[in-house]
Amino acid sequence: MFRLSLTLPALAVLAACATPQERCIREGASEQTQLQRQITESEGNIARGYAIHRQTVPETVFHSCRRVKDGKVVGYYPCPETYYRTIETPVSIDMDDERRKLRRLKDALPAAQKRAAEAAAQCRVLYPEKSI
């Protein structure tokens, strides 16, 4: 979660830097991107022989913070700070099911690639980039 909280503002900044055409193309390719991510994960599961379950858990650490009054330290108080870490746990899988899943994903990819290419062409028409 901590990583996510840092990642979202960074993505927002990057998205703000992208042109309307780039945002449109990225949005049009989101299905293809997701399929490719799932294919990579499934291939990794098959190669390892197991899946990996990822879970984000909070971890609170207590520090001592200074209480300052008129520029002088007048005491200390506990101030908790919560961090988030990801725990990865191996999970057994049915290899036959995983292979069927991978085949379905790979079969769906060409159609998604075609839709992404069509969306990109439409985005280039809708948002032509100005040449300098």
Q: Per the domain annotation, does 14 fall within a domain? A: no
9 inside domain: no
Handedness of CA 5, 10, 13, 15 (dihedral sign): negative
Please state at what angle helix 95-126 crosses helix 20-28, rounded to 10 degrees: 150
State pLDDT tens for residues 96-126: 999 999 999 999 999 999 999 999 999 999 9
Pair 39, 63 in one domain: no
Q: What is the pLDDT of residues 67-91, one digit of tens each?
A: 999 989 899 998 999 999 999 999 9
Question: pLDDT at residue 2 above 70?
Answer: no
For 119, the token pair is 């969306």
Q: Which residues pair with 54 in a beta bridge?
A: 88
pLDDT digits (tens, 9 = 90+) for 26-71: 999 999 999 999 999 999 999 999 999 999 999 999 888 889 999 8
Residue 2 domain-assigned? no
Give the span between the Cα atoms of 19 and 28, in whole angstroms.
14
Read off the DSSP letter of residue 78: E
Tell me the three state secondary structure of residue 49.
coil
Provide the domain limits for residue 43.
Answer: 20-49+94-132
Whether pTM exceeds 0.75: no
Same domain for 132 and 115? yes
CA angle 12, 17, 5 (to 5 degrees): 15
